Amino acid sequence: MALESVLSSGQEEAPLEDTVVKVFRCSKVVKGGRRFSFAALVVVGDRAGTVGFGYGKAKEVPLAVEKAVKDAKKSLNKIPLIGRTIPYQVTGKYRATKVILVPASPGTGVIAGSSARAVLEYAGVQDVLTKIYGSTSAKNVVKATLDGLLRLRSRETIESLRGVEVEIIKRW
């Protein structure tokens, strides 16, 4: 049934990929020693404009990653892209973290730290510059980067909201 719907629509949806951004280890001291538990921060995306993140906790790492992937698939978001980059400069904030995302010329690549890079690459952004101010904890950076991406609007959306035509100024 699913194969027929894919063939009839003529458009195949890109499969979701996931990556573990960071694994956190927590210990609890008990009478017999230490008990460890783990938490995983995971980013999921199709590298074509859809991205989400998830957080899962368990007694073992593989179970924590599995829970995080399941959580990430529930929170997927669509990101407007122009070619290989973002439409315009934007700032994302989450608590003590501020991430500035700047569109870059073709061939620049993703200039970002590991946490922000995971979100941007799985969203499908291939040319972007980033700068992080404040806290650099992985959880905050992932959330601030996603906040910045969610603040982006496509040209059509802006035109319909304002009721005017928007012209594009080429910088490169």
pLDDT greater than 80 at residue 19: yes
Q: Could you tell me whether strands 128-134 and 97-103 are parallel, antiparallel, or unpaired per DSSP bridges?
A: antiparallel
Would the pLDDT of 133 be above 90? yes
User: Tokens 């906790």 map to which residue?
Assistant: 57
Give the tens place of pLDDT for each residue, 84-116. Answer: 899 999 999 999 999 999 999 999 999 999 999
- One DSSP character per residue, 36-65 reads EEEEEEEEEE-SSSEEEEEEEEESSHHHHH
pLDDT confidence tier of residue 171, bands split at 50, 70 and 90: low
| Domains identified in the chain and CATH numbers | 13-77 (3.30.160.20), 79-161 (3.30.230.10)
Ranges assigned E (strand) in 46-168: 50-58, 77-78, 90-94, 97-103, 110-111, 128-134
Q: Summarize the confidence of residues 47-62 as an average pLDDT.
A: 94
pLDDT at position 57: 96
> How wide is the angle at C-alpha 19 spanned by C-alphas 13 and 20, nearest 5°?
150
